[in-house]
Each structure stands twice: as C-alpha cells, then as structure tokens.
Structure 1
Amino acid sequence: MIIAIEGIDGAGKNTLVTAIRKEIGADVLAFPRYETSIHAQLAQAALHGEMGDLTESPYAMATLFALDRHGAREDLLAYAGAGDRVILLDRYVASNAAYSLARTGDPAIVGWVRDLEFGRLGLPTPDLQVLLDTPPEVAEGRAKRRAQLDATRARDAYERDGSLQERTWQAYNQLASADWAGEWMVTSEAEEIIARLTR
C-alpha cells in the first residue's frame, strides 16, 4: 500500500509519519528528496533564491518536484498492490497540486499535475491520502521554531509566505473534499490512521 501524508509546511507530517512507522513498521520516503535527487536540489536552490526567476513559474517548479518523484518511481511501484507491504510518503503528488493551485488560482492546474505525474511520468496512485488538519497559524509557528532550532532548516520562499500557506491549506481541503486522485481522510491523529490501516 502507498499512504501519502499531506499538509502545509509545519503541519507535523514528519512527526506523524514517525509515529505510524513505529507502530506498524512501514517503510518511509520523504519528498522532496533533497539529498539524492538533482531535480529536488534544483528546486531547493530556486526556493532559496539561487536560480534567478525560476520560482516565478509554477509550472517549472511543479515539473522539478514531479521529476524528483519520477526518480523514485520503480521503488514506489514495488508497493502498488503489494498486500502487506506499506510505504508512508511524507508528501506526494497532491502537494504539487495544492501548491500549484494556491500559486495560480487556476483549478485547471490540478488536472495538469495529475496528468503529468500519474499519466506521463507513470507514478502509482496512492491507496490513501491523509491531510493533516493543522491550522495554518499553528503550522507557521512550528516552521519558525524548527528553523530557529536547526540552522539546516532555514525557511524557503514558500515557507515564509504566510498567504501562500493559507491558500495551500484551502487547496488541500478542496482536493480532499473531491477525493482527488483517490481516497482521502482528514485528521491529525496517528491512532486514527493506524486503526484504518490495521482494520
């Protein structure tokens, strides 16, 4: 099974993924893969102002993040329909759709993201997508504290933009309400997700 944990920056995705992994022994993969993927590294550089005006194009940024995921495609396919094997994804395709919608305000872009990643790039659809229902103001406070405590976690252009985070939160809720690209649940409780996966 492929379980995608989604939410805005500072929502608590890593904490939740760690708790679920500890309980059910699932494998974990976090996107973007900054340490191993050139596409993720280029996106990161752009978000820290090192790639000129690249971040001005939602399509360019979405493509870099999509190519990062495509680099893990073969690994992900091993979990598609694999029965007892579970992988938890800290962000997946819906993050691209939500941030792209928040940046453009154009609902058509979520269809473009879906076609790009699940269609052209052949990524497997998740069995379940979980949206963390952390309010944007709470998430922003967490992201700020994280950056203060860890010099390697300096907030990027997306994380510093409170308005973008609010719009992305709204976009995520739209995707969840529509069961975009599969089934969704909205929660912040690891126990609810574990119960769902073990029933």
Structure 2
Amino acid sequence: MIVTIEGIDGAGKNTLVTELRNRTGAEVLCFPRYESSLPARLAARALHGEMGDLTDSIHGMATLFALDRYGALDTLDRFRGSPDLLLLDRYVASNAAYSAARADDLSLCDWVADLEFGELGLPVPDLQILLDTPVDLAASRAADREAADRSRVRDRYESDRGLQERTSSVYRRLAEQSWHGSWLIVDPRGTTEAAVSVHTRLRELREMTITRRNSGNRT
C-alpha cells in the first residue's frame, strides 16, 4: 500500500516519515529525487535560478516533477495493492497544490491528476496524510534548517511566503474534498501524537488491504 505525507515546506514531513519508518519498517521514497533523477535535478536548478525562465512556466515545472515520479514507477508498482507499506515524502498532491497555488487556479489540480494518474499511469495512493502546519511555524523551521546547513539554501518556492500560504490553503481544500482518495489531516506540532494517530490508521488500512486480497483470491 502507498501512503503519502504531504505539507508545505518546513511542515515536518521528514520528521514524521522517519518516526513512521522506525515504527513500521516501511520502505521510504522521497520526492523530488534530486540525487537520482534528471528531471528532478533540472527542476532544482530552475528553482535556484540556473535555467533561465523555466521556473516561470507552471506547467513546465509541474511536468518535470511528474516525470521524476514516473521514473520511479517500477518501485511504486511493487506496492500497488500490496499489504506492504511504501511511505512517500511528497507525491502527486504536492504537484497539484503548488501548481494551483502558483496559478491561483484550482483547475490545475485536475490537470496534474490527468497528467500523473492518467497519462503517466502512476498509482493512486491508499492514504494521503496532510501535515496542517501553521505557515509561520513552517517558515521558521525552513529558515532554521537553512541556517544550520549552508548547503541547504531555500529555493524559489520555499522562500516565497505568499506561495506557501496559498499552497497550504489548497492542500486543506484537497483534503476536505478527498481529492483522489482518502486523506487524514494531522497536527504535526506533537510528533509522537501524530505518529501514533497515523500508525493506528495504517494498521487499519493494512488489515483492509489483506482482506481485499484474500477476498479476490477466493473468486
């Protein structure tokens, strides 16, 4: 089964993913895959002003992030419908939320879904977890992270406060509308409490997945 952790920059995604991996032994995949994916590396260069006006193209940037995920399709497919757990740090909803926020146009969410779930055939996640972190707290974390690691300079998206606020709003709307599957909204300010809540949901989800598989094997 595929479970995604979503939220704005500085939301605490990596902290929760690490906690859940320790509790479940799940495999983890983080997007964008800057170290191993050419589309992701090009997107990173664009976000740091090294690719001319590429960053100005909302559709162009969204396509690069989508192609990064398409490059991991073999891994994603191994967990499609499986009781084994794959945790994703960002997935398709991230592309949808940031694209719609940049354009101030919610129709971009459908465009991203058509591209990634439709054209590229990426699996729809079994559960999407939104870390509904206050923008002030997320911005403070991102700034602290940059100060602690001089190689971790915030990119164009991370340093745009207005974009982070709009993206947070779009994320909540996607969760409330159950955009392409089930969502769970958690308060990330208590990491242990959030992990316990999510872990409980994951056990329930795994039991449902096993039941469905066993039912299918009997037909």
| TM-score bin, normalised by smaller chain | over 0.9
Structure 1, unmatched stretches of 5+, are none
**Which amino acid letter does the alignment assign opposite residue 183 of structure 1?**
S
AA of the residue aligned to 1:2: I
Report the alpha carbon displacement of residue 138 of structure 1 after superposing the two structures with TM.
0.3
The aligned counterpart of 2:214 is none
- Residue type at the aligned position of 2:111: W
**In the alignment, what sits opposite 1:144?**
143
Tell me which residue corresponds to 1:66. Answer: 66
Q: How many residue pairs get matched?
A: 198
* Cα-to-partner distance string for 1:141-176 (whole Å, 9 max, x where unaligned): 000000110122110000000000000000000100
Cα offsets for 1:51-94 (capped at 9, x unmatched)? 001111110000000000000011101001012x1010000000
The corresponding residue for 1:78 is 78
**1:36 is matched by which residue type in structure 2?**
S
2:198 to 164, 189, 193: 193
Q: Find out whether 1:120 has 2:125 as its counterpart.
A: no
Amino acid at match of 2:45: A
Helix, strand or coil for the counterpart of 1:181?
A: coil
Correspondence 1:131 to 2:130 = yes
**TM-score normalised by L of structure 1:** 0.98
- In structure 2, distance between residues paired with 1:166 and 1:109: 17
Q: Partners in 1 of 2:3 and 2:180 — Cα distance? A: 12
Equivalent residues in 2 for 1:26-45, closer than 5 Å:
26-45=26-45
Give aligned-pair identity as a percent: 58
TM-score (normalised: structure 2): 0.89
Bigger Cα Rg: 2
CA distance in 2 between partners of 1:10 and 1:127 (Å):
24
Letter of the 2:78 partner, please give it.
Answer: A
CA RMSD of aligned residues (A): 0.6
1:157-196 aligned at under 5 Å gives the runs 157-187=156-186, 188=188, 189-196=194-201
SS of aligned partner of 2:122: coil
1:55 aligns with 55
Stretches of structure 2 that go unaligned for 5 or more consecutive residues are 189-193, 205-219
